[in-house]
Amino acid sequence: MKYELVVGLEVHCQLNTVSKAFCGCSARFGKSANTNVCPVCLALPGALPVLNRRVVEDAVKIGLAMGCTIAAHSVLARKNYFYPDLPKGYQISQFEEPICSDGVLVIDAGEGSKEIRLIRIHIEEDAGKSIHDIGEETYIDLNRSGVPLLEIVSYPDIRTAKEASAYLQKLRQIVKYLGISDGNMEEGSLRCDANVSLRPEGETEYGTRTEIKNMNSFKNVEKAIEYEAERHREILENGGVIIQETRLWDADKGETRSMRGKEFAHDYRYFPDPDLVPVIVDQEMIDRVRLELPEFPEVRALRFAEEYGIPVYDARVLTVEREVADYFEETVRISGDAKASSNWVMGEVMRVLKEKYLDISEFSILPERLGGLIRLIGGGVISNTIAKQVFEVMVSEPGTAAEIVERDGLAQVSDAGAIETVVQEILDANPGQLAAYRSGKTKLLGFFVGQCMSRMKGKANPQMVNEVLLKKLDA
C-alpha cells in the first residue's frame, strides 16, 4: 500500500525585544546564569506581570505579513504544567483567543509555488533552561524565563520533508526581513516541532501523528521527518499501530526516540490569566504597523530586475537577506553601476562572508568603500585584476580604494607607448605562437594578452593591450 506523508509544523520564534514579555528584565543572552531575573520572572509571591507592548506590535507585524486576521480582542491564558525550569508552574500563552488567525505562507520546494495555510500565531513566554552537563546534578538558569516568543502553527498541508524545510527557510526570511528576530535555528531563536503522520493515498482522514522535537537546523528537520515517516511506514506495513507520542530527534544517531506520551490541550488546563487584561488591538495600531512593513523579497527582486536591469537570478540572490539587499542598493547609489555592483556583491563580498563566517553587518568594507572601488574600475583608473588585489587589502585595512591605489602605485597604465613596447617584446619572445596565430589559430590572442598583462603586473589597460596586439598581429 502506498502512503501519503502529512506534516504540520509548530514554530517558536524568539523575538529580539530589549526586555522580556511580562517584566523589564533584559531579554539578551550571554549574561551569567540567573542575573537577568526579577520577582516577576522568578514567580515570587505577589509579583504581577505587565505585557510588553513591543511583543504585541511584533505579533501584529508578522500577522499582517502572512495575511492573517488580527484579533481586536485576544486573551492571555495560563498553560499549566510542572517542570523544574518553569518557576510559576504555568506558562503564559494564548489558547482559545490568539492574536492572529488563518493566513498563508507561500513556499517553493523546487516544484513551483505552494500555499501552506496557517492556523494561528499567538504570544507566549519562554521557560528557563535546565543544564544537565555539569557533574552529576541538574542546574536551572532562569535568564531565559519570560523571554517573548511567537508560536506559528500551520495546518497539516506539508507533504514532503523538503517542503517542511522550505517552509522554515521562508519563515526565517520573513522574520528577519521584519526585523523581529534573527531566526537562528542553531542558537534556538527559531525552534520547530513537527507533527508527522501517514495515511493511505487517496484517503482524507489523517493518521495517528507523532511530534518530533529537538531539530536545530533545516537539514535536521528534513532528516527527522524522513526518518519518522519511514518508521511509521514500517510499523503500518507490518500490521502495527502508531502510538501518539512526543519523540526526540537524535542527530548523532540519525533517529528519533520516544520522549513522552503526547499531551492534549485539556492536559494543560488552560484558563484566562487573571493577572493580565485582554489584549486590545485597534485599527490605529494595525495601520501604523502596516506602514512599517518592509518591501518583501519577491517584490524587491522584481524591482531590482526592472530598475537596475540585472538578471532575475541575480536579483533573487541579492534579496534573500534584507541586509544584503540594502548593502547592494547603497553600493549602486555610490558606484552608479548596478551590474558591476551586483557582480561584486554576489562574487567577492559573498565569498569573504562565507570564508570568514560573517554576516553582512560585520563586513569591514562598507558600501561607500566598495562603491568607490567600482568607480575606479569604471573610470579606467584600475583594471578588474588590480581591483581584486585592492579589495583584498580593503578587507583587512582601513582606507578608501583610491588611497590604497595611490599608496601602492596600482594605477592602470594607459600609456600607448609603454604598452606597445611590451607588446613588441612579447611577440619577439614567442615567434612560434606568432606564426601559429597568423596561420589561423586566432585563439592564441588570449595567450598574448595574458603574457602582456603578466609582464605589466596586471596594471595595463586591457582594452589598449587588445587594440595594440590586434594591430601588430594582423600587420
The answer to whether the beta carbons of residues 410 and 386 sit under 8 Å apart is: yes
pLDDT at residue 264, rounded to an integer? 66
Record the pTM: 0.84
Cβ-based neighbour number of residue 460 at 10 Å: 26
d(CA 50, CA 238): 54
Q: Give me the domains of the chain, ranges plus CATH numbers.
A: 3-287 (no CATH), 295-408 (no CATH), 416-473 (1.10.10.410)
d(CA 365, CA 402): 14
pLDDT at residue 413, rounded to an integer? 67
What does 77-90 look like in DSSP terms, one character per residue?
A: EEEE---TT-TTSE
pLDDT at residue 262, rounded to an integer? 65
Query: For the range 129-133, what are the long-range contacts, defined as Cβ-Cβ under 8 Å and sequence gap of 24 or more?
Result: 129/85, 130/83, 130/84, 130/85
pLDDT at residue 410, rounded to an integer? 81
pLDDT at residue 263, rounded to an integer? 64
Residue written as cell 509571591? 45
DSSP H/E element including 300: helix 297-308
Per-residue pLDDT of the chain (475 residues; tens, 9 = 90+): 899 999 999 999 999 999 999 999 999 888 899 999 999 999 999 999 999 999 999 999 999 999 999 999 999 999 999 888 999 999 999 999 999 999 999 999 888 899 999 999 999 999 999 988 788 889 999 999 999 999 999 999 999 999 999 999 999 999 999 999 999 888 889 999 999 999 999 888 999 999 999 888 999 999 999 999 999 999 999 999 999 999 999 999 999 999 877 666 678 899 999 999 999 999 999 999 999 999 999 999 999 999 999 999 999 999 999 999 999 999 999 999 999 999 999 999 999 999 999 999 999 999 999 999 999 999 888 888 889 999 999 999 999 999 999 898 887 666 677 788 888 888 888 988 888 888 888 888 889 888 888 887 777 777 788 888 888 777 7
The answer to whether the beta carbons of residues 154 and 167 sit under 8 Å apart is: yes
